[in-house]
Amino acid sequence: MNKICLSLAAAALTAGSLLAAPVKAQQTEEHYAMVVFLKGSEFFNWAYAGFQDAAATVGATTELQGPADWDASAEARAVDQLVAKGVKGIAVTAGDADTLVGSINAAMEAGVPTLTFDSDSPKSNRLLFVGTNNYNAGFAAGKAVGEQIGGDARVGVSLIPGLDSINHRLQGFKEGLASVAPGAEVVAQVNDEGDLQKAETVNTAMLQANPQINVIFCAHGNPATGALAATRNVGRFDGPNKVHVLAWSIDVPILQGIEDDEYGSTVAQNPYMMGVQSFLQLWSAAHPTQFDSLTNPGMGQVPTADLDTGVKILKKGDPAIKALMTPPRI
């Protein structure tokens, strides 16, 4: 039994030593938090790096919370815990818009400035939303394809149906394409269910059924690798009939693929700027000036309109690719 007690004591010491690391630093400085629904994702690592760097400019400290699996209820609980802990502000990306409403509203009622970034919870009382305007991003992507391929562009779209964000991207894409290449058109859409293997299967079928397709627009982050594999499957990975795959990701393999001429281009959101702007807005809200915010009395001045952090369509040779290929360490 002594061994059992020793094991438990060792466990206590382990837990204690882990907890002792950032001792007291946060008690003397202002402390802000970011909550994500996919802890460890490269995208959110970029966002958190921006959040941290912006905090460092004013001597504030930060922490990252959230589940490693897509569970919005775990995010809601993280927000509740951070409010109980007494952080100065919270930036949360909503894994599900409705699930976060209660926790965001409770945080705002408790006087903790809370905003959403990347994925919004529009029914909540959040300060504002910081992230990509999906319509504008889709428009930029459509315009880039229209300018590069012209009126001959015949586009197949790989998407997950039913999501508002993707619907807005597709609408923007179609209008952006039409604005510079009126003869171009979207000829087919497939449901990749957000799964790589499924994306390969359905995009292969789409290319076989619609041989006129010369562009695949991946309307979200997951299907690009599957879509590229599909072009290989139908023998249109290179050569004169090469299919231009437009990805929606800044993951390193995709960026490397652009440099290697595998992908045509990618829609690069700016998660780092989302983090920077999220922190700056929270800081502003946490520091009231002579006059309170009209919309959130007791808090500082923060705009209520969504803050569009924009996108860039990256092609081979773009210097931004090199910078993005060195993801931040947390």
Partner 1 sequence: MSINFAKIKVSGSWLQYIGLIVVTVLIVAFTHSVFGNVVTLANLRVLAMNMIFEAIMALGMTFVIILGGIDLSVASVFAFGEILVAKLMVEVGLSVPLAAAITVAVCALIGALNGAMIVSFRVHPMVVTLGTLLTLRGVNLAITDGRSISGFSDSFLWLGQGRILGVDFPIVFFAVAAVVLGMLLGHHRFFRQIYFIGGSERAAKYSGVDVARVKIAIYALSGFLAGCAGIMAAAKYGAAHWGHGNMAELKAIGSVAIGGADMMGGSGTIFGTVLGAIFLAVVHNAFVTSAVNPFWYDVVNGVMLLIAVLVSRVIAKQNERKMKSVRQQKIDRSLQPQSP
Residues of this chain that bind partner 1 (CB under 8 A): 1, 3-5, 7-9, 11-12, 14-16, 18-24, 26-27, 31, 39-40, 61, 63-74, 76-78, 80-86, 95-99, 101-102, 160-163, 330
Q: Cα 23 from chain centroid? A: 31
Contact of 183 with 149, CB cutoff 8 Å: no
Chain length of the chain? 330
- Given the complex with partner 1, which of 248 and 263 has the nearer CB atom? 248
The edge-to-edge listing of strands for the beta sheet with 31-35 is 61-65, 31-35, 89-92, 114-117, 129-131, 307-308
CB proximity list for 243: less than 8 A, separation 6 or greater:
207, 213, 214, 215, 216, 231, 236, 237
* Minimum CB distance to partner 1 smaller for 107 or for 140: 107
CB of 64 to partner 1, least distance (A): 6
Q: Smallest distance, Å, CB 249 to partner 1? A: 19
The least CB distance from residue 167 to partner 1, in Å, is: 12
The structure tokens 């799964």 sit at 195
- Rank residues 1 and 294 by Cβ distance to partner 1 and give the closer one: 1
Q: Please give the angle made by the CA atoms of 219, 185 and 162, to the nearest 5 degrees.
A: 35
230-250: string of b/e by CB count within 10 Å (b at 16+)?
bbebbebbeeeeebbbbbbbb
Nearer to partner 1, 275 or 300 (CB): 275
Which CB atom, from 2 or from 289, has the smaller least distance to partner 1? 2
- DSSP strand pairing (154-159 vs 215-218): parallel
| Least distance CB 193 / partner 1 (angstroms) | 8
**In the complex, minimum distance from the CB of residue 3 to partner 1, in angstroms, rounded to a whole number:** 7
Nearer to partner 1, 64 or 268 (CB): 64
- Residue 203 beta carbon to partner 1: minimum distance, rounded to whole angstroms: 20
Exposed e or buried b for every residue in 257-283, given b needs 16+ CB within 10 A? bbbeebbbbbbbbbbbbbbbbbbbbbb
CA distances from 212 to 51, 147, 180, 241 (A): 45, 19, 20, 10
Instruction: Give least dist CB 277 to partner 1, A.
Output: 22
| Residue 120 C-beta: closest distance to partner 1, Å | 14
Burial of 75 by CB count in 10 Å (0-12 exposed, 13-18 middle, 19+ buried)?
Answer: buried
Q: How far is the CB of 307 from partner 1 (least distance, A)?
A: 25
Smaller CB separation from partner 1, 73 or 304: 73
**Which of these, 94, 87, 91, lies nearest to 115 by C-alpha position?**
91
| Strands in the chain per DSSP E | 31-35, 61-65, 89-92, 114-117, 129-131, 154-159, 185-191, 215-218, 244-247, 265-269, 307-308, 311-314
Nearer to partner 1, 163 or 234 (CB): 163
Smaller CB distance to partner 1: residue 84 or 305? 84
